[in-house]
Amino acid sequence: MNQPTCTVPKCSRPASAANPRTPERARCVPHYQEWLRSKNPQCTIEGCKRHAIAANPANAGTAMCPSHYNSWKQGQSVTPCAIDGCDKGVKTAGLCSMHYERQRSGRPLLDPPKPERPICAVVGCTQAAKAIKPRTPAGGMCHMHAQRLRQGSRLDTPKHGEAVKRPCSVPECDRPARAANPRPGSLGHMCHMHVQQVWKAAKTCSITGCDRTYLADGLCIMHYKRDRKGHDLYAPPRSSGKGDGCALQECGQPYHAGGYCGMHYQRYVRTGDPFGFMPGHREPRIECEVAECSKPHFGLGYCIGHYKRLKRDGAATAERQCLSCGECFLRPLGKTGSYDYCDECEITGPTAWAALRRQRLRINNLDMTEGDYVEAAEYRELIRNDSCVFCGHPSTAIDHIVPVFRGGSDRWDNLAPICKSCNSIKRTRSVLEMLML
């Protein structure tokens, strides 16, 4: 159902009800409220400008506004207070309860007027100052100029979005210029469009001797920040070497602060010399301290192998006692060699078979390249979770198809997944011998 429109001429707003029961309800909300205000009389209480709650009151009490009507129903006085501007009911001596208590306590009946805030001290600013009695220069300014004063910016900079009345200096251009008081030699006397056209072609800062890319107002980011803060535009840069890295020629590390990299800057801050060392700090080492080791330094003066041995055994060159002959031996770094037997006892001791297998495997892998080792490692990851090739049970190891003692190597085409029981049965047998069992 279409909602009817307001019955007031020249009003196209919808009526306040879809099916108005009375002609008065067939009006829009603003006209209906206007009709209610014209129909209801004004409150009969002197000094009250509110409308009464009924159009045709049956008695004197109903020709009141809702506030006075409620007071009249509760038996309270509806005569307004004698103080000008107070519409509360009288309690005693022609005063309301608030002004009566003030009179009894000797306080003034009227609140003292609030002092007006002075105008901002900046010439041309009509905003109110921050404080009534300023104790600092910033207190006699408005919030915007006080913030600029704390940041060190110029006070005469126009507000963001404030229209600049100075016209563009380009002929036949009626657009406003970018700055009301342009700096001599800058492009602030032009509008934004012509400034962009000029500096997009140049792509450099307008300051003489500066070849940085411009950011705004024809200035690079460094000179733009200086201009906003009121600093000297032609002062030399505070730091140098950001593009070239560390200022020390023999150091190729990237720039961090103060013209140095991170390491030399920390030394300069702590000792005053980029090459100095703090007391108790060791000079950086390049190689391991062990005489026969040329591996790079890792920690505490040792390579990673001797560093781990130092943490585990207490010394980087600690010797171990053989469990078979009782003599002390120095185990070589790496995965080769036994932790419990010397080289001679390893060949004839309980781990002789494992030592011999490692020796055979090294011989079989002599013709393997670095790419072959990478392919073998990737293939091991692919077949790690596959089932055993002989019985189909879950695999627990990677076996050599051609046994190591028969010339098998670690190439990817010689590897296959195998379970623990089949691996113990196969040992040095070939695949055909394994299938004939």
Note the pLDDT of residue 18. Answer: 46
pLDDT bracket for residue 284 (50, 70, 90): low
Report for 27-31, 379-383, 427-431: range of highest mean pLDDT: 379-383
**pLDDT exceeds 80 at position 70:** no
Mean pLDDT along residues 207-231: 79
At 21 the pLDDT is 57
Confidence of residue 56 (pLDDT cuts 50, 70, 90): very low
* Domain spans in the chain, listed from the N-terminal domain onward: 23-105, 118-157, 304-358, 365-435
The predicted structure's pLDDT at residue 59: 55
* pLDDT tier at 419, thresholds 50, 70, 90: very high
Between CA 334 and CA 424 the distance in angstroms is: 27
What is the pLDDT at residue 136?
73
The winner for highest mean pLDDT among 154-168, 274-288, 330-344, 379-393 is 379-393
- At residue 378, the pLDDT reads 92
pLDDT at 186: 63
Task: Please say if the pLDDT value at position 54 is more than 80.
Answer: no
- Residue 231 CA to residue 226 CA, distance in Å, equals 5
Residue 238 has a pLDDT of: 58
pLDDT (tens digit, 9 = 90+) per residue, 100-158? 888 888 888 887 777 777 888 888 888 888 776 677 777 788 888 888 888 777 777 66
Average pLDDT over the chain, rounded to whole?
Answer: 76
* Residue 73 confidence class, pLDDT cut points 50, 70, 90: confident
| Confidence class for position 187, pLDDT limits 50, 70, 90 | low
407 or 178, higher pLDDT:
407
- Please state whether the predicted TM-score (pTM) of the whole model is above 0.75: no
CATH number of 365-435: 1.10.30
pLDDT confidence band for 375 (50 / 70 / 90)? very high
CA distances from 383 to 49, 335, 368, 394, 401 (A): 94, 24, 21, 11, 14
Share of the chain above pLDDT 70, in %: 76
Tokens in use for 186? 């800058």
Q: Which pLDDT score, from 0 to 100, does residue 125 have?
A: 84
CA distance 215 to 419: 69
> Is the pLDDT at 1 greater than 70, yes or no?
no
% residues pLDDT > 90 (the chain)? 3
Phi-psi region of 348 (alpha: psi -120 to 50; beta: other; left: phi over 0): alpha
Of 91-95, 110-114, 136-140, 265-269, give the range with the top mean pLDDT: 265-269
